Chain A
């Protein structure tokens, strides 16, 4: 567990959008997908996912529908709305900018300054 990092604030929403952008998922599926795409590197408490999901639904970025899971359980599936797709693009762009800026900043050596 020690090599799992705490989530940066604000990143959970983006991760959820990313996970759902790859195809409709139920809540548990979102968790699994995040674990998969981050290589198990990030720690999310399972219950903490739901307030975030509902917040995104309320913001109109996600829409939800009840369906049946692969192992025949009733589950609620989430997918991106048009607004959600647009927001996902924007957030990804801005994350990339921040991330590269941060990387560059942290990589700076004494002689470069």
Chain B
């Protein structure tokens, strides 16, 4: 049959449904009449004959049903009838309905949100053509920093990439006239847009042919979103000249709306040629091969037929060549290939999202176990109804179909509710900027795949918990059930429901354990020793490049700023650090340092590779870093004085054997010049909170001035007030200089963001686990109390004590809870080893965590059994026995 015809008969059949049913009833009736006529003729009276005819006919309802089925195409009829019946049945027990739908909405919603994040972060490729063959190179262990000369060699010497582009970050003041504001851009190679094979939305992109050496291509391409908010979609901006860090740049194009740069979690506001990077306040010069700060990531399309493994070997050959050719600058590090978009963050992001997905899956499983138990109980309560239906000739298939329809109805409503919630949450997440002022975002968005996943999960979980009562129905003996009234079997037998409850509680306990481990880990990392005291300090970030200062004006201006800030009443100490202070924006640089006796300054001869900070006198005081030996820098440690340095404890012990030994000794920097260690400070954390005992070397900023610096201000004053005072002072020094004024603590948020996010998500999942275990235990306890009301009533009437009644009513629930929690706790402890990779200092061998989990599970148990216990105790034997 052709499809349209099929549907039209389907529709016709649907509308003629009652007609067909009527006609069928007529026909069966006519059959019985005819038979009765025959029987009457053989001598029976009419009434007797009709009765006999009906008996001979057999189960009329069943045959009518089977006949309708035989007519075919009534799948939808049956479905609609099933849905109506399901709705009638479910609306009779609204508590069950609400609990079930809510539980599933929670579980499916959680899965959809996690899937949305996974989709945005990992599954979905970058929004550029042919992203399958697009790979980035990661150099060494850290997020892919390398140097521009190394990039050029890599580009020209590899045989695997069609072409290789590179990008870096630019934080610059962008001024369209009289409104300077700091924006985040990408400094990209000329071939960047061509390598990505993308076209502009407006105007044109720049190309390789536009580059003619350093600072030669004053062009800027705007991102669509930035063009929209800052330039209000004005197409006339093409050709306009804007000032970026006071240098004139011509706007030549606007990128497509879909193109948001080649990092998933950071959308740049604009793109400028990387050759202009030096005049835009780059930390290192473009020609410096030894730096790791001029290129963030290189990327390109692999040539057809080249596998990623071959390409990795190829770029490592180039790496070996670089290390051999430039031993002073290029250290031997291995290259890896990584999918574009996450660069070196790919592996941890993968691990984290996978862990979240597993936990969310567990939530769904727990919810299904929960609902399976509820459903089985619900079906058991209806065993009489089902027995009647079976006795009246309904087929078991139809009853199962009915039950499954009920399960699906619940699952789909839960799924719909869950997906609505998760879409709202994902929209919020997608537009959320965790760090004001930086375009960092979470690449989550709600798209079709979320709906599909939610639908799939809903159907799957509907099937999963819908089949729990199947065995019950298949084995039901209508005769027994009708005879015995309610079928409360009070055996010691372990039922499916018990197993489900234990499984569910175990899963919930795993979630609760994980979230507690994560919380403790975060709490510890918040209170660990950073080597400085972030409380009561404010930071002022000032980039004198933005103000257009010449290099010889940098130091005097910085000194004026420090003096101005020191004059604020209530300020205890002020100090400056070049670039970023420790633990701010995950940005720190390392440098090779050599022993005094070394003469050959190749990377392989380096004695140590400490973090390097250039600080002013007073910095240690302002940061509250304790000076363990020697002296602080002084204002006389200028470029004309002899070069000095302050080491941290790890550095001193590593190079000089002991702390006391270090002061007065010498080390050599990579250009070979000697620095004398004049002091030793305490160890700290520099790049990440989870590092331990890293060496660091502090040099006087007076001897290596830099335009971009942060000034640390220590004061007990209210941050708000102090911030205003600092801004006023900044204005006094230079009214046109934008400053980034924040507390050190608030800037620490960036570093702590991953573990905070991990803890928050684990906390939410743990909370959901707790809610699920409450509903599960509550359901089980309430059900067993309601089933045994009669027994409890008799016991009370016979003089049982309250404790005995409670034991009888809830003993089983409590035992199951204990078994489940114990199993969950053990599993949770094992799972926490995995957690330790994500959350710093997460350890499950922590008495507080163990006690916390036990306490939490007992509290949950108490909470969940409270109402059923009250109900059991309030049994009034007289009323109850009379009712039965």
Contacts and interface: CB of A to CB of B under 8 A. Distances in A.
Given A50-B27, A58-B72, A73 B33 contact: yes
Contacts of A74: 26, 30
Given A28-B35, A75-B34, A51 B27 contact: no
B37 A73 contact: yes
A58 B66 CA distance: 13
Interface string B455-482: 0000000000000000000000000000
Given A46-B57, A47-B59, A73-B37, A27 B31 contact: yes
Main secondary structure of the interface of A (DSSP, over half): helix
Contacts of A45: 58
A53 to B, nearest CB: 8
Interface residues of A, number: 22
B37 A71 contact: yes
Contacts of A28: 30-31, 34-35
Contact of A47 (B33, B34, B57): B57
A52 B35 contact: no
A52 B63 CA distance: 10
Given A28-B35, A47-B60, A54 B30 contact: no
B63 A50 contact: yes
A12 B26 CA distance: 23
A54 B69 CA distance: 9
Nearest to B35: A28
B30 A51 contact: no
B570 to A, nearest CB: 92
Given A46-B56, A46-B57, A51 B67 contact: yes
Contact of A76 (B30, B58, B66): B30
Range, interface on chain B: 20 to 34
A48 interface: yes
A80 B26 CA distance: 22
Interface in A38-80: 45-48, 50-55, 57-58, 69, 71, 73-76
B70 interface: yes
B63 A48 contact: yes
Nearest to B73: A58
A87 to B, nearest CB: 17
Interface string B267-307: 00000000000000000000000000000000000000000
B34 to A, nearest CB: 4
Nearest to B66: A51
Contacts of B70: 51-52, 54-55, 58
Contacts of A55: 70
Given A26-B30, A28-B34, A54 B67 contact: yes
B27 A27 contact: yes
B62 interface: yes
Nearest to A46: B57
A51 B64 CA distance: 8
A71 B34 CA distance: 8
Interface in B9-37: 24, 26-28, 30-31, 33-35, 37
B69 A51 contact: yes
B5 interface: no
A76 B59 contact: no
B71 interface: yes
Contact of B34 (A26, A52, A58): A26
Counting chain A CB atoms within 10 Å of each CB, the highest count among B34, B35, B66 belongs to: B34
Given A47-B60, A51-B66, A75 B30 contact: yes
A46 B58 contact: yes
Interface string A22-37: 0000111100000000
Nearest to A32: B38
B34 A54 contact: no
Contacts of A51: 63, 66-67, 69-70
B493 to A, nearest CB: 38
A71 B63 CA distance: 25
Interface string B33-52: 11101000000000000000
B111 to A, nearest CB: 43
Contacts of B37: 71, 73
A27 B24 CA distance: 12
Contacts of B63: 47-48, 50-51
B26 A47 contact: no
B58 A48 contact: yes
Contacts of B24: 50
Contacts of A47: 28, 57-60, 62-63
Nearest to B72: A58
Contacts of B33: 73
A28 B53 CA distance: 11
A75 B30 CA distance: 6
Given A52-B70, A58-B71, A58-B72, A46 B31 contact: yes
A57 B34 CA distance: 22
Counting chain B CB atoms within 10 Å of each CB, the highest count among A28, A57, A58, A73 belongs to: A28
B69 to A, nearest CB: 7
B57 to A, nearest CB: 5
A54 B57 CA distance: 17
A29 B68 CA distance: 21
Contacts of B59: 47
> 8 tightest A-B contacts by CB?
A47-B63, A47-B58, A51-B66, A54-B70, A55-B70, A28-B34, A51-B70, A50-B67
Interface of B: 24, 26-28, 30-31, 33-35, 37, 56-60, 62-64, 66-72
Given A29-B34, A73-B30, A73-B37, 8 more contacts: A27-B30, A45-B58, A46-B57, A47-B58, A50-B64, A57-B71, A69-B34, A75-B27
7 contacts: A27-B27, A57-B71, A69-B34, A73-B30, A75-B27, A75-B30, A76-B26
Interface of A: 26-29, 45-48, 50-55, 57-58, 69, 71, 73-76
